[in-house]
Structure 1
Amino acid sequence: MGEGIHKHMGLYALAWPIFLEQFLRIMINYVDVFMLGHYSDEAVAATGVANQILVISVIMYGFISVGVQILVAQMLGARKHDMIEKIITNGLIVAFFIGIAMSIVFIFLSDTFLRWLGLSEELIQVGSPFLEIIGGSSIIIAIHSSILPILRVHGYVRQAMLVPITISIINVVGNYLFLYGSLSFLDLGVAGVGIATMIANFVGMVLAIWMLKKHIGYLFTFKKIKLCSKKLLFAILKLGLPSAGENMSYAGSQLVVTAIIALLGTEALTTKVYASSVSQFVALFAIAIGQASQIIIGRAVGAKELDRAYEQGLRSWKIGLGIALVVSILLYVFAEPVMSLFTSNAIVIHMVKQLFLLSIGLELFRATNIILISSLNATGDVRFPFIVGLIVMWIVSLPFSYLLGITAGLGLVGVWLAYLIDEGIRSALMFKRWRSKVWTLKSVL
């Protein structure tokens, strides 16, 4: 198995390709919406809801890659290369079975999911084929999603980035062909976009499998099934499930907050969508630094260099704070020109500007959480962030959203203050946890 990473590959060298990859993932959603918007409004509404369901499915197999990435990083640090092949095999087999299960669920239950979310029959007709095709090919997404973290943790971050770039290009070209180009005579509409996405993901999977062989020297064969071990499967799940649980809990609480905001009317809901979409980009910096930091800290912990791991966590956190502060201040200053790209509604633009002012504090807390939780996860300390997230999101964030937003009549500003309180409490607890060094006792090895 290839050693890959140059032992002291720096934070920036690891972070920028991860940033670009995450940026592309978000952009492809916007491009889909933009292209569908010119096709029909029903298509945008139906695929928007379908995508919310697909996000939850991505979290389902996302936890495998988290578990595999933490284990591989620590084994690389400890130079236990014989273990890496076993970990990869166990990870891929779990991904395969979860992918198959998810595919079957989506093929048979897509209409039911859309009905549960209250879509009209007309929109279900539009959205269901889209969900069936993309959800039904979950197995493809599960496999390439679990290979990319293995490449990254070996230091092949730039190579891993080629997969989402390829997927994005094929997806956009396919969308164009089905909606407006030479395949538009088939009149597949949204189903065509689903097919384009599925083909793009399939090419991405083949590319990921080829890179795993080329750079790390790993190729799955049926002989390798004997490398399956209960102990390793348990370790992957033990490390991965809490992070999935935290993401699921966040996605769930966001759905409830959206329902609370819906009580404030359409304008508030529109404003929330715009403000959240733009703030997604601010969070990308912290996500990239957090993931890069996770790779470095995981290796340091594996090599028993705990002081180096501790210092790296603090350094990454300070860099992340600096970037979050600068970007969120710039967003506030340029709120009007930025928002006028999306909407001409003066009320919405004014409301978003108020939220961007609060977001300066919010983004500092959020960056702290993203980076320090990634750092704690890298050490194997996964349960603490999960439990804190669960308690604070559901006991603080949601009731405060309702109390400040609806009862106190502060509207969206109230909801944003509730976000601030939620992220603030969690960031204080994460910082304290990192400083306490309790995580030094949690190493997987």
Structure 2
Amino acid sequence: MLDKNTNKFTLWVLAWPIFIELFLQFLLGAVDTLMVSRISDDAVAVVGFSNQLFQAMTTLFMTVASGAGILIAQKLGSFRTGDARTIGIMAVSATTIIGLACSVILFAMPEAIASMLQLPEHLLPLAGTYISIVGGGMILIAMMATMSTVIRNTGNTRGPMYVAIGMNIIHVIMNYGFIFGAFGFPQWGLTGVAISTVVSRLLAVLLLLYMFLRSFEYRIKWKEFRVFDRPLFGEILKIGWPLGINMSCWVFTQLIIYSFIATLGAAELAARTYMNTLESFCFLLGSSIAMAAQIQIAHLFGAGRIREAYRSAYRALGIGAIYVVVNAFILYVFGKQLLGLFTDDKTIVAIGASLLGMNLILQPGKMLNMALGNSLNAVGDTRFTMYISLGSMWLVATGLSYVLGIHMGWGLIGIYSCMIADEYLRGVLSFFRWRGQKHLRKAEQVEPVSHQAQPMEPIPAQA
């Protein structure tokens, strides 16, 4: 008998709420950047730099959250709902503790951290204010990320979407008030933007907590947050620690690359921040399809529907590639005008515009890498994606970026060239790994956990 909730795990049903949620997150970042640009380009550079730092800290708790999300989808696919529920509870408890520790560190020494990461000295006072306030709320980011991940992997991708809508509306209104002194708000500039960010995230956490407690068949009770199942937590870490290292590679190499760009000057740093915002828009739909495919494939894999899981990866890749190429072309055509919405500085606009053609090459590589990398993660092959990330991100994306961009003086053009090479290298390696079907063939030899799970079909020969 098939899972009665199978329809919740189709690619489109999963993907469109994720897309709207990601779009609203993009809107939050774009509105932040646009509004902060009315303060100064220096403030934009600080926000972009700080966000890279926050992403680096985020990997500490996303190790647990990501591993838990994949396992929850697998357990639900194999009808082990009790295990899925316990995994969700443990993930939220563990990541909240980690998030609290991050909050204390960032609140206590923001300028010292920014200085250590080579932020230009004249930006340190602004960075100290922004990092201490927003970074002091890292516990909120930890709770948001984990609860959203758990809720999405139960098949409910709409819930986090609704929360994102509310959070964005509140954030935009408060941003406008604090920056321009509207609605009776004090005109606090970047400090107000930071406060707005923390308040909107706090409200989002409260809504997500309400949804999380009701995400499974039986409502989660407060006393259950003390539950700790060692074997299940071991399963989380088995999948999660390579994911954590993989994510750490990305954010820390990006942070180092940002520090390289910072040495080029404030104009280059601001241009990269603006371009990052526009590039995020390019990849929104592709990213949502890749994330939906991971949930779908993990559920199919847990249910023993191996053939469907194998084909789903290629379907997601094909659909996603079409969208990202179209979006990247639109950005290539209108990118200069869009950059002009953020800043009047002709130097910054010229630097950003010089990268638009390279972005057209970059985006398909990102889709190839993310679609097949996520597919490998969904079936538990997380060590492979970790190994290729360790090699490619550090040697190609970071090491060569320094050689070409800084040492040889190619600047942002050299750094972007290395980012493109990194994405395609990891994407091609992931393609051949998925085509080899190593983890899928192993699963054929294991009996489904539940007698209700669909018998496995023979997996097709390599294409």
Give me the TM-score of the superposition, normalised by structure 1: 0.89
Distance, in Å, in 1 between the alignment partners of 2:320 and 2:33 is 30
- Determine helix, strand or coil for the equivalent of 1:334: helix
The aligned runs of 1:143-154 (5 Å cut-off) are: 143-154=143-154
Distance, in Å, in 1 between the alignment partners of 2:130 and 2:266 is 26
Tell whether 2:234 aligns with 1:234: yes
Distance, in Å, in 2 between the alignment partners of 1:339 and 1:41 is 13
Partner of 1:26: 26
Partner of 1:130: 130
Distance, in Å, in 2 between the alignment partners of 1:102 and 1:295 is 28
Distance, in Å, in 2 between the alignment partners of 1:121 and 1:397 is 26
Contact 2:77 2:302 in 1 (8 A): yes
Tell whether 2:375 aligns with 1:371: no
Opposite residue 191 of structure 1, the aligned amino acid is: T
Q: Name the CA shift for 1:176/1:213 in 2 (closer, same or farther; >3 Å).
A: same
The aligned runs of 1:279-428 (5 Å cut-off) are: 279-343=279-343, 352-406=352-406, 410-428=410-428
Partner of 1:177: 177
Higher deviation after alignment, 145-154 or 38-47:
38-47
Q: Name the CA shift for 1:77/1:358 in 2 (closer, same or farther; >3 Å).
A: same
Contact 1:4 1:216 in 2 (8 A): no
- The offset of 1:103, in angstroms, is 2.2
- The offset of 1:352, in angstroms, is 4.4
Partner of 1:90: 90
The superposition leaves residues 55-79 of structure 1 with CA deviations (integer Å, 9 ceiling, x where unpaired) of 2222322222211110110011101
Q: Name the CA shift for 1:327/1:38 in 2 (closer, same or farther; >3 Å).
A: closer
Distance, in Å, in 1 between the alignment partners of 2:123 and 2:349 is 29
Distance, in Å, in 1 between the alignment partners of 2:231 and 2:151 is 23
Partner of 1:255: 255
The aligned runs of 1:195-234 (5 Å cut-off) are: 195-217=195-217, 219-225=219-225, 227-234=227-234
Q: Name the CA shift for 1:148/1:132 in 2 (closer, same or farther; >3 Å).
A: same
Distance, in Å, in 2 between the alignment partners of 1:213 and 1:78 is 22
- The offset of 1:349, in angstroms, is 5.2
Distance, in Å, in 1 between the alignment partners of 2:7 and 2:14 is 12
The gaps in structure 1 that reach 5 residues or longer are none
The aligned runs of 1:14-53 (5 Å cut-off) are: 14-40=14-40, 43-53=43-53
- The offset of 1:342, in angstroms, is 3.8
Contact 2:328 2:360 in 1 (8 A): yes
Contact 2:53 2:255 in 1 (8 A): no
Higher deviation after alignment, 146-155 or 7-16:
7-16
- The offset of 1:416, in angstroms, is 2.6
Distance, in Å, in 2 between the alignment partners of 1:350 and 1:252 is 27
- Count how many residue pairs are aligned between Structure 1 and Structure 2: 442
Q: Name the CA shift for 1:289/1:389 in 2 (closer, same or farther; >3 Å).
A: same
Contact 1:6 1:155 in 2 (8 A): no
Contact 2:11 2:289 in 1 (8 A): yes
- Determine helix, strand or coil for the equivalent of 1:7: helix
- The offset of 1:148, in angstroms, is 1.2
The superposition leaves residues 53-111 of structure 1 with CA deviations (integer Å, 9 ceiling, x where unpaired) of 22222232222221111011001110111212211121121122112222222232223
- The offset of 1:299, in angstroms, is 0.6
Opposite residue 191 of structure 2, the aligned amino acid is: A
- The offset of 1:319, in angstroms, is 1.2
Contact 1:336 1:353 in 2 (8 A): yes
Distance, in Å, in 2 between the alignment partners of 1:204 and 1:294 is 24
Opposite residue 75 of structure 1, the aligned amino acid is: K
Q: Which runs of 4+ in 1 moved over 6 A?
A: 442-445
- The offset of 1:437, in angstroms, is 0.4
Partner of 2:430: 430
Contact 1:90 1:232 in 2 (8 A): no
Contact 1:300 1:306 in 2 (8 A): yes
- Determine helix, strand or coil for the equivalent of 1:341: helix
Q: Name the CA shift for 1:110/1:408 in 2 (closer, same or farther; >3 Å).
A: closer
The gaps in structure 2 that reach 5 residues or longer are 450-463
Q: Name the CA shift for 1:255/1:136 in 2 (closer, same or farther; >3 Å).
A: closer
Q: Name the CA shift for 1:353/1:230 in 2 (closer, same or farther; >3 Å).
A: same
Q: How high is the sequence identity, in percent, across the aligned residues?
A: 31
The superposition leaves residues 269-317 of structure 1 with CA deviations (integer Å, 9 ceiling, x where unpaired) of 4443333332222222221011100111001100111111000011111
Opposite residue 76 of structure 2, the aligned amino acid is: L
Contact 2:282 2:331 in 1 (8 A): no
- The offset of 1:432, in angstroms, is 0.1
The superposition leaves residues 355-410 of structure 1 with CA deviations (integer Å, 9 ceiling, x where unpaired) of 33333332111100011111111111111111101101112233333444456554
Contact 1:4 1:155 in 2 (8 A): no
Partner of 2:71: 71
Distance, in Å, in 1 between the alignment partners of 2:138 and 2:28 is 18
Higher deviation after alignment, 424-433 or 61-70:
61-70
Q: Name the CA shift for 1:189/1:258 in 2 (closer, same or farther; >3 Å).
A: closer
Contact 1:380 1:442 in 2 (8 A): no
Q: Name the CA shift for 1:190/1:292 in 2 (closer, same or farther; >3 Å).
A: same
Opposite residue 59 of structure 1, the aligned amino acid is: T
Distance, in Å, in 1 between the alignment partners of 2:145 and 2:244 is 14
Distance, in Å, in 1 between the alignment partners of 2:327 and 2:308 is 28
Contact 2:119 2:262 in 1 (8 A): no
Distance, in Å, in 1 between the alignment partners of 2:229 and 2:143 is 19
Distance, in Å, in 2 between the alignment partners of 1:85 and 1:280 is 33
What RMSD in Å do the two structures reach over aligned CA positions? 2.9
Contact 1:147 1:212 in 2 (8 A): yes
Q: Name the CA shift for 1:362/1:105 in 2 (closer, same or farther; >3 Å).
A: same
- Determine helix, strand or coil for the equivalent of 2:150: helix
Contact 2:388 2:426 in 1 (8 A): yes
Q: Name the CA shift for 1:97/1:215 in 2 (closer, same or farther; >3 Å).
A: closer
Q: Name the CA shift for 1:111/1:357 in 2 (closer, same or farther; >3 Å).
A: closer
Q: Name the CA shift for 1:57/1:351 in 2 (closer, same or farther; >3 Å).
A: closer
Opposite residue 435 of structure 2, the aligned amino acid is: R
Tell whether 2:139 aligns with 1:139: yes
Higher deviation after alignment, 316-325 or 269-278:
269-278
- The offset of 1:425, in angstroms, is 1.6
